[in-house]
Amino acid sequence: MDEQNQGDELYPIAVLIDELKHDDVLLRLNAIRRLSTIALALGPERTRDELIPFLDESVEDEDEVLTALSDELGSFVEYVGGPEFGHVLLSPLENLATIEEPLVRDKAVESLNKICAQLSQHQIETYFTPLIVRLSKADWFTSKISAAGLYTTPYPHCTPQTQEGLRAQFGGLVRDDTPMVRRQAATSLPAFVGVLQPDVVVQEVIGPMFQHLSSDDQDSVRLLTVDVLIAIAERIPKEQQSSHGVLLTSLRGLFEDKSWRVRYMAADRYEKIAKAVDEEVIARDLVPAFVKLLKDTEAE
């Protein structure tokens, strides 16, 4: 009887492996969607020891299959034995975060953040932050793009020393040679600013990061800094804003940018900017800027 049960247990993993290697993409996709069922049959230990390593080696497939795999792994913590073993899921997701297809990468980043939220400080320091550093330092830009979206979730749970290192790594993404990486850094920076201490925002974000991005030669990067400015203004006490010349100069610069796309974004976010800054800045900088926008020759 025991042999029969063992045979029944082995059967699903054998079927799964066959289907994951099948020529029919639909069969492979269905196998991915049934991973949780297979994991339940295997139990946490065998899932950790057998299934996850197998999946780690299965990241060469159709984008549709890899997107589904990235999605499934985000909800897999309970199947590997709970949060204390959650870090075993990081390796396949790290590989998926380097894939060229944006849909796969985005889902991998989403799942990584989902898992990170369940990890202990020790696991974050030991497994998650080194993963961020590896992706941030990778040669290929796709890895760096994924890395930019992974800083905010672990940061509050790290030691001051690790936090300092993470800020330095993010600064590297801001100054990356590739516009796609700088764009993603600018996209991710508002959320990152939200978990930083106000004094850190003043010392390390306004000049080294925000000013650098707001003067980027690509308007597709500059237009994203409107949301960065709002995040910074929301983080700094209003009574201190007028003393930050770089911030106010950049604010005026966005409204007067040579690219209509940047001016359009500034106009679109005008109300949010007005709510985030103090009355002196509104009267001195925002109102004149808005009057200029009303006279803008660009129809958009």
Better-predicted residue by pLDDT, 98 or 277? 98
Model confidence over 23-50: pLDDT tens digits?
Answer: 787 888 888 888 888 888 889 999 999 8
Lowest-pLDDT range of 97-101, 166-170, 253-257: 253-257
Whole-angstrom Cα distance, residue 55 to residue 32? 10
Mean pLDDT of 203-229: 92
Mean pLDDT of 209-233: 93
Whole-angstrom Cα distance, residue 214 to residue 216? 6
Whole-angstrom Cα distance, residue 120 to residue 116? 8
Q: CA 209 from chain center: how many Å?
A: 17
pTM of the model: 0.87
Q: What is the DSSP letter of 88?
A: G
Whole-angstrom Cα distance, residue 227 to residue 225? 5
Q: Are 59 and 66 in contact (CB under 8 A)?
A: yes
In this predicted structure, what is the pLDDT of residue 183? 97
Q: How many CB atoms lie within 10 A of CB 74?
A: 18
pLDDT band at 274 (very low <50, low <70, confident <90, very high): confident
* Residues in Cβ contact with 2 at an 8 Å cutoff, skipping those fewer than 6 apart: none
Domains and CATH numbers, the chain: 1-119 (1.25.10.10), 196-300 (1.25.10.10)
Identify residue 200 by its one-letter amino acid code.
Answer: V
Whole-angstrom Cα distance, residue 100 to residue 250? 34
Whole-angstrom Cα distance, residue 216 to residue 230? 18
The H-assigned helical ranges of 21-89 are 25-33, 35-42, 44-46, 52-56, 63-73
In this predicted structure, what is the pLDDT of residue 280? 74
Q: Is the pLDDT of residue 11 over 60?
A: no
Radius of gyration of the chain (CA): 23
In this predicted structure, what is the pLDDT of residue 132? 98
Mean pLDDT across the chain? 88
Q: Are 89 and 115 in contact (CB under 8 A)?
A: yes
Q: Is the pLDDT of residue 7 over 50?
A: no
User: Helix, strand, coil: what percent of the chain each, to 5?
Assistant: 75, 0, 25
Q: Which of 28, 131, 39 is nearest to 77 (CA)?
A: 39
Q: Is the pLDDT of residue 3 over 50?
A: no
Alpha carbon separation from 234 to 44, 79, 177, 213, 237 (Å, rounded): 44, 40, 29, 18, 7
Whole-angstrom Cα distance, residue 206 to residue 9? 57
Lowest-pLDDT range of 45-49, 59-63, 230-234, 254-258: 59-63
pLDDT band at 4 (very low <50, low <70, confident <90, very high): very low
pLDDT band at 291 (very low <50, low <70, confident <90, very high): confident
pLDDT-above-90 percentage for the chain: 58
Mean pLDDT of 80-91: 96
